[in-house]
Amino acid sequence: MENQVLTPHVYWAQRHRELYLRVELSDVQNPAISISENVLHFKAQGHGAKGDNVYEFHLEFLDLVKPEPVYKLTQRQVNITVQKKVSQWWERLTKQEKRPLFLAPDFDRWLDESDAEMELRAKEEERLNKLRLESEGSPETLTSLKKGYLFMYNLVQFLGFSWIFVNLTVRFCILGKESFYDTFHAVADMVYFCQMLSVVETINAVIGVTSSPVMPSLIQLLGRNFILFIIFGTMEEMQNKAVVFFVFYAWSATEIFRYPFYMLSCIDMDWKVLTWLRYTVWIPLYPLGCLAEAVSVIQSIPVFNETGRFSFTLPYPVKIKVRFSFFLQIYLILLFLGLYINFRHLYKQRRRRYGQKKKKVH
């Protein structure tokens, strides 16, 4: 009896220049794969979801592709690579807007457009660096130097924030709530050091040493340093408030997981527990840290009004006194806007790392 013709499960991903298709069929031999009139035709005998049968499908691509697909057979699947005629990002794979039932995203290879652009730039930079180093005959690679530099930077920051975290924890265990009120004088020097050094992190993103987006890094740098140098640093009345403890504790508790994660990444190590903590602890700590920062700003408003620090009077004929507290109220709005931007960025990072495990393909 002739085998029934069925449709296999197909998973897809893309880059600017290529399309990747993964056909879930095992024990496939000599599949018929071709592209004609911008339509991919696939037919093969193999073992799929419906047992040993003939499986086939047809996909009309959204835009023009080169008619020479390349495929590779493995014991469990068929991997197909299709070259786009024009290097660009597609909003979907097929010409028809409704996704075929047998087609789903390949989350093992999935990247959004910005990540794919960074990957493309990284590959191009790596290729150019390799060509340059080969022409110069240098025994060392730029990549190894960069990794060594980033490892040392992250190590220093990890040690600094660990010292802050341990110091605050030990003092709280010994002194209890009394430790809240002299937190600034106990750890401020180290916090100043770590926060000034964090400028390097933003510079690394700007000049391309790291692939981190510039905006989230810049928002965190400016926000923390405003709280540290302006709210706490210039007002002695604020330095003895309990909120300082909660701000510094939230900052350090987040960074003692982030920086060692980056350290291990520099030497191509992945400790699963640390990776999970790096992508998870920010969920409660980041909003709590922003809330503590907002409380510190609110508590500082009457202090700045009373002292008149940073307030000024507009010149004649206006002659209106502008209080610094007005800018603090604007900053509160910007603080929560920054919280949204960074929270969204961190959530996308976590979803890329763990989201595919939660998705179910029908």
Q: What is the DSSP string of 56-109?
A: EEEEEBSS-B-S--EEEE-SS-EEEEEEBSS----S-SBSSSSPPTTEEE-TTT
7 φ, ψ (degrees, to nearest 5): -105, 130
**How far is CA 30 from each of CA 69, 73, 119, 294, rounded to the nearest angstrom?**
14, 9, 33, 65
> 55's torsion region: left (phi>0), alpha (psi -120 to 50) or beta?
beta
Percent of the chain with pLDDT over 90: 62
> 52's torsion region: left (phi>0), alpha (psi -120 to 50) or beta?
beta
Q: Is 97 a catalytic residue?
A: no
Selected catalytic residue, list 24, 201, 255, 293: 293
Quickly tell me which residue has 């931007």 as its tokens: 341
In the predicted model, what is the mean pLDDT of residues 136-145? 64
Selected catalytic residue, list 140, 286, 306, 354: 286
**Is the previous residue joined to 317 through a cis bond, with omega within 30 degrees of 0?**
yes
Q: Identify the CA nearest to 250 among candidates 214, 230, 223, 273.
A: 223
The answer to whether residue 136 scores a pLDDT higher than 60 is no
Greater model confidence, 354 or 104: 104
Q: Identify the CA nearest to 118 among candidates 12, 211, 36.
A: 211
Q: Is 140 a catalytic residue?
A: no
Task: Identify the band that residue 49 occupies on the pLDDT scale cut at 50, 70 and 90.
Answer: confident
In the predicted model, what is the mean pLDDT of residues 212-232? 92
Return the structure tokens found at 356: 């595919």
Task: Identify the band that residue 137 occupies on the pLDDT scale cut at 50, 70 and 90.
Answer: very low
pTM attached to this predicted model: 0.59
pLDDT of amino acid 267: 87
- Choose from 106-115, 299-308, 345-354 the range with maximum mean pLDDT: 299-308
In the predicted model, what is the mean pLDDT of residues 249-266? 94
In the predicted model, what is the mean pLDDT of residues 90-116? 87
Asked if 165 contacts 249 with a C-beta cutoff of 8 angstroms, the reply is yes
Asked if 44 contacts 34 with a C-beta cutoff of 8 angstroms, the reply is no
Return the structure tokens found at 25: 């069929």
Distance CA 232, CA 72 (A): 61
For CA atoms 340, 342, 345, 349, give the dihedral sign.
Answer: negative
The answer to whether residue 327 scores a pLDDT higher than 80 is yes
Task: Identify the band that residue 142 occupies on the pLDDT scale cut at 50, 70 and 90.
Answer: confident
The answer to whether residue 358 scores a pLDDT higher than 50 is no
